Amino acid sequence: MIEDKNPQRTSLSELGEFGLIEHLTKDFKITRKSTVKGVGDDAAVLDFKNRKTVVTNDLLVEGVHFDLAYVPLKHLGYKAVIVNLSDIYAMNATATQITVSIAVSNRFPLEALEELYGGIALACELYDVDMIGGDTTSSNKGLFISVTAIGEAKNEDLVYRNGAKSNDLLVVSGDLGGAYMGLQVLEREKEVFKVNSNNQPDLSMYTYIIERQLKPEARKDIPVLLKELGVKPTSMIDISDGLSSEILHLCKQSGVGCNLYEDKIPLDPQVISASEEFDINSTMVALSGGEDYELLFTIAQSDYPKIKGNPHLTVIGHMTPENEGMHLITRANTKIPLKARGWNALKEE
Amino acid sequence: MIEDKNPQRTSLSELGEFGLIEHLTKDFKITRKSTVKGVGDDAAVLDFKNRKTVVTNDLLVEGVHFDLAYVPLKHLGYKAVIVNLSDIYAMNATATQITVSIAVSNRFPLEALEELYGGIALACELYDVDMIGGDTTSSNKGLFISVTAIGEAKNEDLVYRNGAKSNDLLVVSGDLGGAYMGLQVLEREKEVFKVNSNNQPDLSMYTYIIERQLKPEARKDIPVLLKELGVKPTSMIDISDGLSSEILHLCKQSGVGCNLYEDKIPLDPQVISASEEFDINSTMVALSGGEDYELLFTIAQSDYPKIKGNPHLTVIGHMTPENEGMHLITRANTKIPLKARGWNALKEE
């Protein structure tokens, strides 16, 4: 993808740091009322008036969070923004601005960074956030992307992780496990490609799960939907590490237990078929796969009629007193303890 | 400094990501009224009421911005915070919060990260800022530190880079060139150490300039001082890349020219003596050395009596109409064009 033989290859050193920043940021437009001053000064200036400011930051590292062998740079830029916006939405807030800092080795030509910033710009446009600053520097090896996302919310709208009560319903948006199974497909194709680089894989039966991995979306729509439905969650978190890990965060911070029902976990048919093909338990994929960027939240039982039947939302369990612990109720109706598992745990299965 | 034989060496993998974040952040205290929620949720929540929010971000890369052969990790953590706070003060604002994200290879034991966070905590304490979040992840090689600094200011107090007018005076805080000459000393000692590791260098005559390099301070006091003096700068920037580069930024963004007087540039005696020892022109060091983190600003001529004689401030030139260009007036009273030069340019001399 980024090979030396590429005729359109402009060396980063030709531009210099300031030239590079100017070049990469010149097409970003400021549209948010709260952005007083964007790129170009020592710092950006924002005005949230009587609202609270919400801030989050994530660092994405080549070889750890992404593999440029199968992640196009434009998708990577898009995803780097999305994973941060997801944290803002998980506060029931509106995302308004981002800063982007990158460290890049000189093996990347300017055209590669233009691709990366093209993805960032697309995410900014679609999610209506302003890019207001950052830093561009060199690295000895690899690509590092640090994104800070900023948002705003009225105080009474903010939802933290620590407000879940016993008997609250546990609800998730969308479906789970797609991003992890998409990664499995991509990693398999990478191995096939190593053996036979002329191989043109037919990935048409995996389009949904590959897109979930390469071009995830953040649930900007869910805080809006909940407001329309008149529902304020009692606690909320986004699913970056996997369902079980996120449930444990909500339980620990809220001081409650949980019963999660295996048969309620929403799975796309492609996740089910790919899980069978790779001989992985699809429930394990949902519990530990991560990177779905769906929202997981709890609501009071009295709010159930308001969300009932909504195609975006699925009730997957309920909270319990803390001393009852955290459990998965299996399809066979056995009760097994929920453990935090990340991808590593899944790979060790 | 971070050798395998160290008996106090706890592997990062023993803790896991969440354990590591919890361990490293548990001693950080929240003291700012504007911090509603710090570490521990999807995002931090801040409340700036009727003030503007100021945001900046910098990424520090091992081998590019620092060399662990002579930078102790505690100093590095401290400096990573300082360079960002400096950008907030350069807006004439008050720094209030930071987020810190690090990517680290597994060659670093927990104790090394504790040192790093010790330096971050010290900077937070001395500069009265809250650490409110961030990310901790692994890297395949090297250490990367991304800091976002957040501040606040009344709208009428904010100072941008673009407000300088012709005839305004150009003023700098403190003295210049120390950080660069400190680096020269440290790099020489590193080479000596490679040849003879038993050598115990006597660095007592370089203490000030070494401290300027290893433990720089941000000029938190200057916005406060200016307020006390009743002076609002017309433009301001911090000196991270070197005096000439920063002057060019102010001129370009304000649409003015500048005359800078060589004999007015404030230099510490250690900078002068070390420049002689290393056979470098001390004016070049001030112009291109960078990393001094002093503040450079312009004021109206009518404000001159208010700053006259202040030991923290030196008038080093004045702004001119844009068409007159940017010049250095040398001690020999010749006028030479000012060019942006960074460290690379200096090394090529």
More confident residue, A207 or B107: A207
Answer whether residue A155 shows pLDDT above 90: yes
pLDDT band of residue A341 (cuts 50, 70, 90) is low
Q: How many A-B residue pairs are in contact by the CB < 8 A criterion?
A: 199
Q: Which residues of chain B have pLDDT under 70?
A: 1-8, 341-349
**Band (A83; pLDDT cuts 50, 70, 90):** very high
Closest CA to B250 of B314, B317, B302: B317
Cβ contact (<8 Å) for A57 and B102?
A: no
Q: How confident is the model over B194-211, as pLDDT tens digits?
A: 888 777 778 889 999 999
Q: Given this model, what pLDDT does residue A8 score? A: 67
Question: Could B57 and A93 be called an inter-chain contact, meaning their C-beta atoms sit closer than 8 Å?
Answer: no
Give yes or no: residues A239 and A140 share one domain.
Answer: no
pLDDT tens across A49-63, in order?
989 999 999 999 998
Euclidean distance between CA atoms B146 and B165, whole angstroms? 35
> Which residue from B52, B61, B90 is facing A45, i.e. has the nearest CB?
B52
Which own/partner contact pairs does A189-196 have at CB distance under 8 Å and 24+ positions apart? Answer: A189/A70, A190/A67, A190/A69, A190/A70, A193/A69
Over residues A10-62, the pLDDT tens digits come to 877 777 777 787 888 888 888 898 999 998 899 999 999 989 999 999 999 99
Residues of A in contact with B43 (CB under 8 A): 54-56, 87-88, 90-91, 93, 149, 151
A145 and A212 belong to one structural domain: no
Of B55, B62, B93, which has the smallest distance from its Cβ to A133's Cβ?
A: B55
Q: What is the CATH number of the domain that holds A73?
A: 3.30.1330.10
- Does residue B87 have a known ligand-binding role? yes
B283 falls within a domain: yes
Least confident among A120-129, A168-177, B122-131, B184-193: B184-193
The answer to whether residue B133 is domain-embedded is: yes
Closest-CA distance, B241 to chain A, in angstroms, reads: 11
Lookup: tokens for A9: 């290859």
- d(Cα B61, Cα A102) in Å, to the nearest integer? 10
Q: What is the mean pLDDT of chain A?
A: 91
- A113 and A205 co-located in one domain: no
Q: Exposed e or buried b for every residue in B45-80, given b needs 16+ CB within 10 A?
A: bbbbeebbbbbbbbbbbbeebbebebbebbbbbbbb
Q: Which of A135, A157, A179 is the last residue before a domain boundary?
A: A157
Q: Which of B48, B50, B134 sits opposite A53 (nearest CB)?
A: B48
Q: Which domain holds residue B80?
A: 12-157
B contacts of A47 (beta carbons < 8 Å): 52-53, 155
- Block residue for tokens 């995410």: A123
Distance CA B78, CA B100 (A): 12
Cβ-defined contact of B56 to A44 (cutoff 8 Å): yes
Other CB atoms closer than 10 Å to residue B10's CB: what's the count?
14
B contacts of A341 (beta carbons < 8 Å): none
Closest-CA distance of chain A to residue B58, Å: 6
Shortest Cα–Cα distance, A145 to chain B (Å): 9
Position A180 confidence tier, pLDDT thresholds 50, 70, 90: very high
Give the model's pLDDT for residue A320.
98
Please provide residue A49's backbone torsions phi and psi, each rounded to the nearest 5 degrees: 45, -120
Of A55, A57, A138, nearest to B101 by CB-CB distance is A57
Of B92, B127, B157, the last residue of a domain is B157
Alpha-carbon distance of B20 to B25, in angstroms, equals 8
Percent of the residues in chain B that have a pLDDT greater than 70, as a whole number: 94
Phi-psi region of A309 (alpha: psi -120 to 50; beta: other; left: phi over 0): left
pLDDT on residue B4: 46
Q: Do A56 and B65 touch (CB under 8 A)?
A: no
Q: With 90 as the cut, is the pLDDT of residue A177 above it?
A: yes
Mean pLDDT lowest among A68-77, A186-195, B219-228, B280-289: A186-195
Residue A6 lies in a domain: no
So what's the pLDDT on residue B128?
95
A90 contacts B61? CB cut-off 8 A: no
**Taking CB atoms and an 8 Å limit, are A144 and B59 in contact across chains?**
yes
Counting the structural domains of chain A, the total is 2
The SS3 assignment for B151 reads: strand
Residue from B17, B41, B99, B348 whose CB has the most chain A CBs within 10 Å, to mutate: B41
CATH of the domain at A266: 3.90.650.10
Which of A157, A183, A202 lies at the terminal end of a domain, its last residue?
Answer: A157
Same structural domain, B223 and B132: no
A142 and B138 within 8 Å at the Cβ level: the answer is no
Q: Quick one: closest CA in A to B138, which residue?
A: A64
Query: Are B141 and B270 contained in the same domain?
Result: no
B113 lies in the same domain as B230: no
**Mean local confidence (pLDDT), A170-193:** 94
The pLDDT value given to residue A345: 43
With CA atoms as reference, the chain B residue closest to A56 would be: B43
* A4 — pLDDT class (breaks 50, 70, 90): very low
Distance in angstroms (rounded) separating the CA atoms of residues B341 and B245: 6
| Average pLDDT of span A115-134 | 95
A327 within a domain of the structure (yes/no)? yes
Q: Which residue of A has its CA nearest to B239?
A: A42
Amino acid identity, residue B183?
L
SS3 category, B321: strand
Contact between B40 and A64 using a beta-carbon 8 Å cutoff: no
Q: Are residues B119 and B227 part of one domain?
A: no
Which residue of B55, B86, B103 is in closest CB contact with A61? Answer: B103
What would the two tokens of residue A6 be?
A: 């590429």
Residue type present at position A43 = A
Interface ipTM:
0.88
Confidence of residue A168 (pLDDT cuts 50, 70, 90): very high
- The count of C-alpha atoms lying within 13 angstroms of the C-alpha of B276, restricted to the half-sphere facing its C-beta, is 6
Query: Distance between CA A38 and CA B53 in Å, rounded?
Result: 12
Output the CA angle A258-A263-A269, nearest 5 degrees: 130
Sequence-separated (6 or more) residues with CB below 8 Å from residue A48: A34, A152, B48, B53
Are residues B145 and B188 both part of a single domain? no
B78 to B182, B186, B204: CA distances (angstroms): 17, 18, 22
